[in-house]
Structure 1
Amino acid sequence: MAGRPKIFDERDVVAKATEVFRNKGYDTASADELLRAMGIGKGSFYLTFKGGKKELYVRSISQFSDHFYQKISESLTASENKIQFLKKFFLNLANTSECDKEPGCYLGNALVQLSEKDDEIKKITAQMLKKLQVLFAETIRTAQETGQIISTEDPEIIGWHLSNLWNGIHVTKRMESSPEILKSIIELNLKILD
């Protein structure tokens, strides 16, 4: 006997759970809150997520990471001036004071809070940072070849610098919320793109 068929879209319920995790954090998000947000019962939950809350969170981070990367990659590809796009992308981080309004914050939090406690989350967040680094490096390499930027620094290292900036700003935002200070930090780091 195969059991009852699923009557929900897994990606959709994971996305709904992601909003709870973003707002409450992994540790404080209760099972009841997650089930309510997802709109499914306990039986369906445990049939789908056999590893319980942890499996759901890992799937949430993975799905969110894939979507975040796809969105930035597509936006960068569609951009006429990729260096200006990168500058704007980073400077926008300074203007978003609330974490739930800035997509990368959820991933940054996962990296800081849980990656050292959980190897699977560490692997997902490390892969996402590496993908960002590669995307940034490819963009820099092309900009150098076309004369868009004058920097002769190794594109791989600039890519790491930018992925480190992305990650570091999310950590700094936990201590400093002044958009002016954050903007100054980001601008100083972005001089490498001139």
Structure 2
Amino acid sequence: MAGRPKIFDENQAIEKATEVFRNKGYDTASADELLSAMGIGKGSFYLAFKGGKQELYVKSIEQFSENFYKILSEGIEKSENGIEFIKQFFLSQAYSTECEKERGCFLGNSLVQLSEKDAQTKKVSVKIMRNLQQLFAGVIEKAQKNNQIKTKENPEILAWHLTNLWNGIHVTRRLESSPEVLKSLIEINLKLLD
């Protein structure tokens, strides 16, 4: 017997669980809070997520990152100048809402929170950061070939710098409330792309 069919949209349920994880973190998000947000019962939950809360968390990170990557890569692809798009993307981080400042970056939080505790989550988190780095590296390499930027630095290293900047911004903006200070910090880092 194959078991009962799912009667809920798994992607939508994961999206709702993601909000709980973003607000509460992995450790403090209770099973009851997750089930309530997802609108499903325990039986349906364990049928869909045999690995329980941890499997849900990993799927949540993966789905969130896929959506983030898709939006970012499509924005770069549609832009006339990928480097300028990346610069504006980073500068916009200085003006995030208070809620985002308090919660931080979901992906960054997952790296810090569980990466050293759990090998599977670490593997997923590393893959996400590498995908982001490779996206940046492709834009930088193309810009160098088209003489859109002067720097001759290795595109791979510059892309890692941007990935590190991405993580750093999400930590710093939880401590620094001034968008002007954050903007200045980001601008200094982005000078490497001139």
- TM tier relative to shorter chain: over 0.9
**More displaced 10-residue stretch of structure 1: 101-110 or 38-47:** 101-110
Are the counterparts in 2 of residues 49 and 56 from structure 1 also a CA contact under 8 Å? Answer: yes
Matches of 2:91 and 2:102, distance apart in 1 = 12
The aligned counterpart of 1:47 is 47
Matches within 5 A, 1:12-27: 12-27=12-27
Matches of 2:101 and 2:38, distance apart in 1 = 20
Instruction: Please provide the CA RMSD for this pair.
Output: 1.8
Give the aligned length.
194
The aligned counterpart of 1:165 is 165
Change (3 A) 1:102 1:142: farther
Percent identity, aligned pairs only? 67
Matches of 2:33 and 2:79, distance apart in 1 = 39
Deviation at 1:90, TM superposition (A): 0.4
Matches of 2:126 and 2:186, distance apart in 1 = 22
Matches of 1:104 and 1:157, distance apart in 2 = 25
Cα deviation, 1:152-190, whole Å, max 9, x if unaligned, reads: 111111111111111111122232232111111110000
Matches of 2:12 and 2:99, distance apart in 1 = 22
Q: Secondary structure at the match of 1:147?
A: coil
Matches of 2:93 and 2:46, distance apart in 1 = 37
Are the counterparts in 2 of residues 68 and 103 from structure 1 also a CA contact under 8 Å? Answer: no
Deviation at 1:3, TM superposition (A): 2.9
Are the counterparts in 2 of residues 96 and 102 from structure 1 also a CA contact under 8 Å? Answer: no
Matches of 1:49 and 1:150, distance apart in 2 = 49
- Structure 1 counterpart of 2:115, which letter? S
**More displaced 10-residue stretch of structure 1: 57-66 or 173-182:** 173-182
The aligned counterpart of 1:60 is 60
Establish whether residue 138 from structure 1 lines up as the match of residue 138 from structure 2: yes
Deviation at 1:104, TM superposition (A): 7.8
Matches of 2:20 and 2:98, distance apart in 1 = 15
Q: TM-score, normalization: structure 2?
A: 0.94
Q: TM-score, normalization: structure 1?
A: 0.94
Matches of 1:56 and 1:90, distance apart in 2 = 29
